[in-house]
Amino acid sequence: MTTTEHPAVTPADLRRYRELSNLSQTAFWGAIGVSQSSGHNYENGAAMPPPVERLVRVHYFAGIPTNASHDELRRIGQMIGSAKSMRRDMKRIEALSSRVAAQAGQVIQQLEGMP
């Protein structure tokens, strides 16, 4: 699996997003299991541990609830699996249609060469 590098979430980003969401520090940070005081520190420039930053990205920026129930997480996993399967199928269809188009071109050339 490949990972994508994302720019760091800045303290200003955190505060701006929380304020635009109309959430208190307690509500914003509590939704991902972080105390209000730690959240306050992150918003004011304290180094945020990578796991906390990932939780912020997943919960708030990607919209995947980290505080979801087991059933909700299972449904999300199924949707992701379905999307991956559909992407795989689309790539197969694309490859197949390219081969069919090439074969059709060859047949057309052969037909055009007939008297």
pLDDT at 51: 85
As a whole number of angstroms, the distance between CA 46 and CA 76 comes to 32
As a whole number of angstroms, the distance between CA 67 and CA 58 comes to 11
| pLDDT at position 86 over 50 | yes
pLDDT at 1: 46
Task: Judge contact between 28 and 39, C-beta under 8 A.
Answer: yes
pLDDT at 103: 76
State the average pLDDT over residues 2-31: 84
| pLDDT at position 4 over 70 | no
Burial of residue 56 (number of CB atoms within 10 Å: 0-12, 13-18, 19+): buried
As a whole number, the mean pLDDT across the chain is: 80
Structural domains of the chain sorted by starting position, each given as residue range(s) with its CATH number in brackets: 1-67 (1.10.260.40)
As a whole number of angstroms, the distance between CA 63 and CA 57 comes to 8
Task: Judge contact between 40 and 68, C-beta under 8 A.
Answer: no
pLDDT at 42: 94
